[in-house]
Amino acid sequence: MLESPADCLCKWVSVKGVSSKGTFEAGFFRSAGTESWFLGIWYKNVAERTYVWVGNREEPLHSSNGTLEVDDDQLVIRDKSKSVWFSTRRESSSSSTTTAVAQLLENGSLVLKDVNNDNPEDFFWQSFDEPTDTILAEMKLVWNYQNRYLTSWRAFDDPRPGNYVFRFETPQYPVLSIWYKAFLLYRSGPWNGYKFIGAPSLFRLEWKDQQISYLSINTTTTSPDYTRVQLDNDGSVRHYTWNQIVKKWDQQWSSSLCTRNAYCRVGSSSLACECIPGFEFGSLNVTTKECVQKKNGTCNGDDHFSLVRKMNLPDSRNAKSNPSITKPEQCGKICLGDCTCTAYSISISLETDNWSCITWSRDLLDLRSYFEEGLDLYVRTAGKKKSKTGLIVGTCVCILVVLPLLALFCYWRRIKKRKRERATTAASSIDNFSQEIGHGGFGYVYKGVLASGEEIAVKKLSQLSKQGLDEFRTEVRSISRLRHLNIVRLYGWSVYKEEKLLIYEYLVNGSLERHLFG
């Protein structure tokens, strides 16, 4: 975190430390990430310390004994007697005839001006001319031979210049871009007259003398108070507005930023990046996760293409166009014939107004995926495309083997379930074998009643009986075939573990033995 120098021994000479309405405050602050001191500007009435400009980013003070002084129409930061930073006088400013003063304006700009002249065109210097990582409502990024741009902090607690740069390029066809060192990470669509395609109507462009263009925040679509656009230390450009109710910064917009050979899904709640086919995230370095190729291509015709749908076209500055090729298959052959080609697509050509083949070489930059629109992008992937024939055949064989086994298993489970149900029904019908009506060497006979109210006789074979399972089955088959008025009918049978039951028709006149032998 960054600390406020409550006990700072800084010396201010002819400087107003707070803007007229108390929106901004300027002073020296100490960075916990470097243990050094910097000249900065921040919001005074925002509880969460938020810096909008830092002066001596490359030459920090190593103690709190630094001073900010006005010396010959220049602002100078001195570390004891040594000058570590000074402002550069604007070429358009007039010469000073009276005392020069430094003043913090209500718009957040620290200016050096003639004490009697408030005309911005005559300021000797202003902090808006040397932006750091933030654009405020009245700040302008100027394109006039030397591009004025934003540079990120090195870390969240280190104001020194980082590796990310945000700027607008090519004044004839302006686009917004984010760079990591020499690599392009983000590129908006071109200016269409009122906004940058692919970005919200947050920025505006102005032309002066048909040569100089200015990029600034569009205050007609956002409130100028407590609003800022910041290039964060992770390389993303974000638009923030202060929420006075909950006392925090609300993020209104963020650039969808992914490294080369990676893409994000525009409109998704997740801002996570995904590698294109054939690539995977490598080791995490200091700044970002890079997508590296899983396997190098052979360039011998064995590579294939993976289709990624609903994509924007990658950065096309180094792409090759083939207007005479209009079919994806033909375009793919052209790409395979070039060892450096990494992807191709079929898109409308602005020159011919017809479909045209476009190929890209080496790394793919500025990739995004859309939910409802976009083009098909064919990415070159190392190795031959795996055939689906083997998979289909294997699946069919598995189905043919597994289904009969599964049917057999289900049938076996069903038979066992029926046996258990029969045993349970018989046991419940005879009141748990409590009403005995006869017995013999085979076992016992019990009286029972079915759920329908019909009386039955249940013959329970004793475990001491010599009748085994085969004899039991023979008895069941024999009796079940007999049909006679004077022979009891067999209703059913049950075998569960060692227990064997026969369910007969119940005869109310008693057993045949009682009638024969009295």
Nearest residue to 445 (alpha-carbon basis) of 497, 498, 496, 512: 512
User: How many Å apart are CA 248 and CA 261, to the nearest integer?
Assistant: 35
Do 368 and 264 meet the contact criterion of CB atoms below 8 Å apart? yes
Grouping H, G, I as helix, E, B as strand and the rest as coil, residue 74 is coil
CA distance 4 to 220: 34
d(CA 174, CA 192): 9
Question: Rounded to a whole number, what is the distance in angstroms from the first to the last CA of the chain?
Answer: 110
Classify residue 41 as left (phi > 0), alpha (psi -120 to 50) or beta.
beta
Residue 381: phi, psi to the nearest 5? Answer: -125, 135
Beta strands in 255-354 (DSSP E): 262-265, 274-275, 279-284, 289-293, 304-311, 320-322, 341-348
CB 54 within 8 A of CB 159: yes
Assign 43 to helix, strand or coil: strand
- φ and ψ at 50, to 5 degrees? -130, 115
d(CA 32, CA 44) in angstroms, rounded, equals 20
Q: What angle do CA 454, 455, 460 make, to 5 degrees?
A: 130
Q: Is 247 annotated as a binding residue?
A: no
Residues in the annotated binding site for ATP: 460
Residues in the annotated binding site: 460
